[in-house]
Amino acid sequence: MKKKVLTVDDSRTIRNMLLVTLNNAGFETIQAEDGVEGLEVLEDANPDVIVTDINMPRLDGFGFIEGVRKNEKYRAIPILVLTTESDAEKKNRARQAGATGWIVKPFDPTKLIDAIERVTA
């Protein structure tokens, strides 16, 4: 069965790149435009792994990760943070919020898939 990836990113460009990359790698991809939408679609999407941006309107990546972790069902789902942020403070916050891993944009498709493979069975 195809693994499902939920991607949360406010940039249309990045959403499209994720879509193409993930679909080509054989994943099923569900996309949300910000943290709020990410939480809204979470239940229906029932993803195996989440890839999220940090800087987003309405609800940022930190808030989104916290929201996911509060959902009993997704308490232990792998969440990869995809962002251009590179300072330690932000990374630390993402981790405290419950992020599993961290990928720096611009992402290399191979690295993205690698990272997803790494956190999923």
Partner 1 sequence: MDMNEIKEIFFQECEEQLAELESGLLRLNDGDRDPETVNAVFRAVHSIKGGAGAFGLDDLVSFAHVFETTLDCVRSNKLEPTQEVLKVMLKSADVLADLTNVARDGGSVDQARSAQLIRELEALAKGEAPPAAATPAPVAAAPKAAPVAKAAPAPVAAAPLVNDEGFMPVAFSFDDFGGEEESVSDLPAYDIVFKPKSELYTKGNEATLLLRDLSRLGEMSIHCNMDNLPGLDQMDPETAYFSWKISIKTDKGEDAIRSVFEFAEWDCDLEVTALDAGEAGEGSDDDLPMQPVPFDLSVLDGEPDAPIGVVEEEEQLAAAAAAQEAAVAAAETASNVLQMAGNAARASAADKGAAATAAAQNNAQQAASAAAPTIRVDLDRVDRLINLVGELVINQAMLSQSVIENDSNGVSSINMGLEELQQLTREIQDSVMAIRAQPVKPVFQRMARTVREIADITGKSVRLVTEGENTEVDKTVIDKLAEPLTHMIRNAVDHGLEMPEKRLAAGKPAEGTVKLTAKHRSGRIVIELSDDGAGINRERVRQKAIDNDLIAADANLSDEEIDNLIFHAGFSTAEKVSDLSGRGVGMDVVKRSIQALGGRINISSKPGHGSVFTMSLPLTLAVLDGMVVTVAGQTLVVPLTAIVETLQPDAASIHSFGATQRLISIRNSFCPLVDVGRILNFRATQANPVEGVALLVESEGGGQRALMVDAIQGQRQVVIKSLEANYTHVPGIAAATILGDGRVALILDVDAVVAASRGQSLQQESSLAAAG
- Applying CB under 8 A, the residues found at the interface with partner 1 are 10-14, 16-17, 19-20, 35-37, 39-40, 55-59, 66-67, 69-73, 75-79, 83-92, 95, 98-108, 110-111, 114-115, 118-121
**Minimal distance, residue 76 CB to partner 1, in Å:** 5
The distance of closest approach from Cβ of residue 62 to partner 1 in the complex, given in angstroms and rounded to an integer, is 12
- In 3D space, the residue among 115, 100, 87, 112 whose CA is nearest the CA of residue 22 turns out to be 112
Comparison of 2 and 118: residue with beta carbon closer to partner 1: 118
* Closest residue by Cα to residue 50 from 71, 19, 20, 29: 29
Distance CA 37, CA 60 (A): 11
CB 44, min distance to partner 1, A: 13
Judged by CB, which is closer to partner 1: 5, or 78?
78
In whole angstroms, the minimum distance from the beta carbon of 16 to partner 1 comes to 5
CB 116 within 8 A of CB 27: yes
Question: For the stretch 24-33, what's the b/e string if a residue is b when 16 or more beta carbons lie within 10 angstroms of its beta carbon?
Answer: ebebebbbbb
